[in-house]
Structure 1
Amino acid sequence: MKVFLMYKDRNFDLQQKLPSNQQTLIQDLALDTLFNAMACGDEFLLEVARKAVLSGLNNDPDTILYRQDILRDCLENSAIVRTIYDIAVESIEREKKNYLSIFSRYPAAILHRSIEVMQMFVGMLKKLRTIADEHADKFKSEGFTAFFKMLNKELGDEYFASVQNHLRELKFREGVLISAELGKGNKGINYILRKPIDKKQSWMERIFAPKPLVYTFSIADRDESGARALSELKDRGINLVANALAQSTDHILAFFKTLRTELAFYIGCLNLYEHLTRMGEPACFPLPVAPVERLHSFKGLYDVCLALTLEQKIVGNDVNADNKDLVIITGANQGGKSTFLRSIGLAQLMMQCGMFVPAESFCASTCDGLFTHYKREEDVALKSGKLDEELNRISDIVDHITANSMVMFNESFAATNEREGSEIARQIVSALLEKHIKVFFVTHLYEFAHGFYDKKMANALFLRAERQADGTRTFKLIEGEPLQTSYGEDLYNSIFGTGN
């Protein structure tokens, strides 16, 4: 039985390798806030959220749209989806309680445990089949349609009747019928479990039917050695069927584990969506396109992690950066530049893993890699200067970056003087653009920003944090020429007062 709720043709691998810069992304984009909102205190949901979001950069637009359709079904039928998830979780937890531990090497114990587990699994599978019968028509996505169709095909009435019949026979209420041969030294070999004698014969047939020649012996009640020998004979006979049934339970357990893992991603999305809805924040399904289309436009995009932290609505931004490879953001201090930059990275990751994004509308090209280069605090160990540390991190990014990636700089190369920092930034950005890599750059380096502005590049966009005449920050980003001031005087006055 296959699940296929994350990919059309394969299961989601919870052990897959994540990007080498995963910890940097988590730190710079405050991803732990997003993961915790999705998990709601559940450690398993937290793990799946982390793996799904960070591995999303490997997804193409078709996979993203496939998941989006499934997520739409989840949003419209959240109670049903949560019930299916609960069935998977309960099945896994109940199976754990039947763990064999030290007795797992005895076939009789394996068989007994497997019968109990299979009986429990049958009950859980029947619950899934009932949900499929009653609610399949409410789901429209390709993924759920195929999932419910698989349940109807694999879990028919004949399947359940056959399983129950086998389980009854494997309890051996009428004893165990085993055949064997004599080998060297008259030792028994080729032990085979035989089908029990048909009990459906009439009493006349049972009385007058020819009887095979048999020999019998009995073991005394206190003959422990004989009882042990008889038990060993039984174990040899049922060994193969015990292992076969154990493998069947493992197969069904693997199905429930996969179902739990893949639904956990959507449960996390439901948790986050419900949280944002309570706050009155918008969320939309983005339109992903191939990297060659170079699209990036949105309305009302906001920093979802800041909204979750402050528990309030956040100012959103409208930007059209279609066919732009370079976006330089300048303007007033504490005007929302870094928050805007983080919203770009968060939206990209959320889109590529198949989630909704925190915006009114959003369309963007997918990227093959996402890298952040944010300013860091001074190295307290004094192992290197700030500029050396920044250049080392750039070197590490270059070692892993590929075409069609995105790099986000936040006040990088400000550890040196204006002229030197601007020249370093110019050379690095120019090299990235030559390799068809998209760049977002928040900076106070006027010479660097205005140098690109003067080039009148068709593939460059310049945004500025809006500041009103009285110094008020609107936290809106507007298109505009880079200014030579960041209005640090506003911050000074707000902290110390204007004085006399």
Structure 2
Amino acid sequence: MKLENFSLLYPDSQTQRDHLAGVNVPDIDMYTLQELGMLEIFNPQSTPLSDFFTSDPAVISYRNQTFSDMLCNPALTETLHRLVPVLQDITELRRLENDIAGEDTASYLASMTEIELYITCVDILHKGMKEVRGNLHGAAFRRLADCVTELAESDYYAELNRKLSELTRRVREIRSVTIGVNLDAQLRPAQAGVLSINAQPFKSGDVLDKILRLNLKGDEYTCIANLVPFGKKQSENQKTALSLAFNSAINDVYRSSLRSWKKIVQGYVLENTDFLLGLLPEIEFVVKGTQLQESLRARGCTLCEPDLRPMDERVFVADRLYNPAVALKLPEGETIVPNSIAFDTTPENAMIYVLTGPNRGGKSVITCAVGLCQVMLQLGMFLPADTCRISPADGIYTHFPTGADDTIDKGRLGEECTRLGEIFDAVTADSLVLLDESLSSTGSFEASYIAAEVLMGLCRVGCRCLFSTHLHELAAEIDRINAQSAAEGGARVDTLVAGIEGEGKRSFVIKRAKPDGKSYARDIASRYGLTYEGILQRIGKEKR
């Protein structure tokens, strides 16, 4: 087994190469993630989240197994947490090595430190994997555990440890160097050489002190004068010259060790260290992704393994779906209202839904919930629902209210139409489209006309779409749109309503029904005392 072929996120090297080449990579950008609220709850720092998306069923299933092992074995998260700072130390060490390139002694010490850090990494992984090996079911961590065990128990690894201990001892025992200096006629240093490398430090002293202790020969590490701190009263040139002379002497002494050590470093260790450093983005992804899912579970929210269907089935059927971003923001003790929704081509369901209802009745929440569920699927996570039968999408396209700068030039309606046009430039039958209060910048007559045209276009495309809108008049157009769509072989549209309970209280329950715009108007009028009866009370007159 070779570590360099291992990935926490891809089942084999071919799928990873395909991903890097853009194969099976959906069109889900950071702007879409921001609109959906994903970046508020999950936003890796080392690599943009958009780089992790996949539509490959094999990759999604592989990641599901990886997250399952992480969620079932908290010790795995602890192991990876311990590993990350060591890998970051290696990264910093390599940066420093670039600054000392050419200095053999410094390079020697740096490479030795890197090997120590590498061995620390292997030891952390070996200990952590050994504790949970019997509880692992996913291919990723089982393979990592077997690979690390094979490495840590190999003869080569034992020899590496032995060699490192030997060289470390030789270096770390050095406490001083005895230098012989030849002087010229003016008593200036002319030549210098290393007499010995010592395991004891020199101490300050003077001649009188040695005489009084009557130990002139047996105390060779006590100087006959006080020790002077290196560099004191020296110019920078003098300091540099002395350092170079010292390093040159040390290099001569350790030249053979340096050659043999570099063969070890270059022949094996650097390759495996590079591999571990390359895993850092994947480690951050799985650790933070696991923390997100654990946070949802701690709130009492359910997570389900996806019933993954082929992309061309274009299905999204979720039971008791909820918005994870909203669930994590609720005050302690409050629970989010889940809703069920089904996008498919069966006669009882539809591919496109128009969702209406009162303001703050849950329309935007469920719209984002659908998007976040699709996002979590294509990151390889478990899904925020009791059950979910779902196909990957080749892209997620959103159109939410915005204060974009180009509204100054185009006007709000022009900007909205431009963004909708860009969606049609990219969307396919396998895409997911989410529209939240689109066309809210113009009057209901113009907005309803444009919205009906947009729906007709989406029907022709045949994609999954949820259109959350205040345009209750649009419901009157649904039968006409469906008749034309059926004649042209397009998808079917149906309506959803965000419900209200008695006295205008919002239930946040989404129901399959036709909208009743007057009921929402009555709710608003009653809330603000603008019914006829309420107005009479305000002006102090009774109805006659």
TM-score normalized with structure 2 length: 0.72
- Say if 2:478 and 2:494, in contact at 8 Å, map to a contact too: no
Percent sequence identity over matched residues?
25
- Say if 1:332 and 1:487, in contact at 8 Å, map to a contact too: yes
Provide the residue aligned with 1:265 in structure 2.
Answer: 285
User: CA separation of 1:225/1:435 partners in 2, compared to 1, >3 Å: closer, same or farther?
Assistant: farther
- Per the TM alignment, residue 253 of structure 1 is displaced from its structure 2 partner at its CA by 3.0
Provide the residue aligned with 1:81 in structure 2.
Answer: 76
- Say if 2:76 and 2:128, in contact at 8 Å, map to a contact too: no
Provide the residue aligned with 1:297 in structure 2.
Answer: 317
User: CA separation of 1:423/1:240 partners in 2, compared to 1, >3 Å: closer, same or farther?
Assistant: farther
CA distances 1:90-119 after superposition (whole Å, capped 9, x unpaired): 322443564336433223322222123213
Counterpart amino acid of residue 90 in structure 2 = E
User: CA separation of 1:486/1:364 partners in 2, compared to 1, >3 Å: closer, same or farther?
Assistant: farther
Counterpart amino acid of residue 112 in structure 1 = L
- Per the TM alignment, residue 242 of structure 1 is displaced from its structure 2 partner at its CA by 5.5
User: CA separation of 1:387/1:92 partners in 2, compared to 1, >3 Å: closer, same or farther?
Assistant: same
Cα RMSD between the aligned structures? 3.4
User: CA separation of 1:243/1:59 partners in 2, compared to 1, >3 Å: closer, same or farther?
Assistant: farther
Work out the CA distance in 2 between the residues paired with 1:34 and 1:441: 24
Secondary structure of 2:402's counterpart equals coil
- Per the TM alignment, residue 144 of structure 1 is displaced from its structure 2 partner at its CA by 1.4
Work out the CA distance in 2 between the residues paired with 1:281 and 1:478: 22
Work out the CA distance in 2 between the residues paired with 1:104 and 1:15: 32
- Say if 1:462 and 1:480, in contact at 8 Å, map to a contact too: yes
Work out the CA distance in 1 between the residues paired with 2:133 and 2:263: 32
Structure with bigger RCO (C-alpha 8 Å, 6+ apart): 1
Provide the residue aligned with 1:463 in structure 2.
Answer: 496
Provide the residue aligned with 1:130 in structure 2.
Answer: 127
Provide the residue aligned with 1:412 in structure 2.
Answer: 438
CA distances 1:44-65 after superposition (whole Å, capped 9, x unpaired): xx326x734x345433222111
Work out the CA distance in 1 between the residues paired with 2:338 and 2:507: 10
- Per the TM alignment, residue 170 of structure 1 is displaced from its structure 2 partner at its CA by 5.7
* 1:279 paired residue among 299, 305, 310: 299
Work out the CA distance in 1 between the residues paired with 2:411 and 2:259: 68
Provide the residue aligned with 2:454 in structure 1.
Answer: 428
Compare 453-462 and 129-138 and name the one that shifted more.
453-462
* 1:359 paired residue among 359, 368, 385: 385
Provide the residue aligned with 2:64 in structure 1.
Answer: 68
Provide the residue aligned with 2:239 in structure 1.
Answer: none
Work out the CA distance in 2 between the residues paired with 1:265 and 1:334: 33
Matched, 1:47 2:80: no
Matched, 1:7 2:13: no
User: CA separation of 1:108/1:479 partners in 2, compared to 1, >3 Å: closer, same or farther?
Assistant: same
User: CA separation of 1:94/1:369 partners in 2, compared to 1, >3 Å: closer, same or farther?
Assistant: same
Provide the residue aligned with 1:110 in structure 2.
Answer: 107
Provide the residue aligned with 1:256 in structure 2.
Answer: 276
Provide the residue aligned with 1:343 in structure 2.
Answer: 369
- Per the TM alignment, residue 369 of structure 1 is displaced from its structure 2 partner at its CA by 0.5
Compare 115-124 and 334-343 and name the one that shifted more.
115-124
Secondary structure of 1:117's counterpart equals helix
Counterpart amino acid of residue 271 in structure 2 = H
CA distances 1:375-431 after superposition (whole Å, capped 9, x unpaired): 234869732211101012123333443441111111212323333322322223322
Work out the CA distance in 1 between the residues paired with 2:412 and 2:38: 25
User: CA separation of 1:122/1:430 partners in 2, compared to 1, >3 Å: closer, same or farther?
Assistant: same
User: CA separation of 1:234/1:16 partners in 2, compared to 1, >3 Å: closer, same or farther?
Assistant: farther
* 1:121 paired residue among 118, 121, 135: 118
Work out the CA distance in 1 between the residues paired with 2:254 and 2:330: 64
Gaps of 5+ in 2: 172-178, 183-189, 195-244, 538-544
Work out the CA distance in 2 between the residues paired with 1:15 and 1:308: 33
* 1:29 paired residue among 22, 31, 36: 36
- Say if 2:8 and 2:63, in contact at 8 Å, map to a contact too: yes
- Say if 1:88 and 1:259, in contact at 8 Å, map to a contact too: no
Secondary structure of 2:509's counterpart equals strand
User: CA separation of 1:70/1:102 partners in 2, compared to 1, >3 Å: closer, same or farther?
Assistant: closer
User: CA separation of 1:258/1:346 partners in 2, compared to 1, >3 Å: closer, same or farther?
Assistant: same
Counterpart amino acid of residue 266 in structure 1 = V
- Per the TM alignment, residue 292 of structure 1 is displaced from its structure 2 partner at its CA by 1.2
- Say if 1:88 and 1:257, in contact at 8 Å, map to a contact too: no
- Say if 2:104 and 2:251, in contact at 8 Å, map to a contact too: no
Work out the CA distance in 2 between the residues paired with 1:286 and 1:90: 33
Work out the CA distance in 2 between the residues paired with 1:231 and 1:377: 66
* 1:58 paired residue among 32, 54, 74: 54
Work out the CA distance in 1 between the residues paired with 2:510 and 2:335: 17
- Say if 1:56 and 1:353, in contact at 8 Å, map to a contact too: yes
User: CA separation of 1:147/1:232 partners in 2, compared to 1, >3 Å: closer, same or farther?
Assistant: closer
Counterpart amino acid of residue 153 in structure 2 = G
- Say if 1:410 and 1:443, in contact at 8 Å, map to a contact too: yes
Compare 224-233 and 154-163 and name the one that shifted more.
224-233
- Per the TM alignment, residue 432 of structure 1 is displaced from its structure 2 partner at its CA by 3.0
User: CA separation of 1:12/1:309 partners in 2, compared to 1, >3 Å: closer, same or farther?
Assistant: farther
- Say if 2:83 and 2:124, in contact at 8 Å, map to a contact too: no
Secondary structure of 1:100's counterpart equals helix
CA distances 1:277-318 after superposition (whole Å, capped 9, x unpaired): 332222222222222112211121111111222233111102
Provide the residue aligned with 2:341 in structure 1.
Answer: 319
Secondary structure of 1:252's counterpart equals helix
- Per the TM alignment, residue 357 of structure 1 is displaced from its structure 2 partner at its CA by 1.9
Matched length: 444
- Per the TM alignment, residue 447 of structure 1 is displaced from its structure 2 partner at its CA by 4.0
Work out the CA distance in 1 between the residues paired with 2:470 and 2:80: 49
Work out the CA distance in 1 between the residues paired with 2:16 and 2:79: 18
Secondary structure of 1:470's counterpart equals helix
Gaps of 5+ in 1: 37-45, 175-218
Provide the residue aligned with 1:214 in structure 2.
Answer: none
User: CA separation of 1:411/1:120 partners in 2, compared to 1, >3 Å: closer, same or farther?
Assistant: closer
- Say if 2:407 and 2:414, in contact at 8 Å, map to a contact too: no
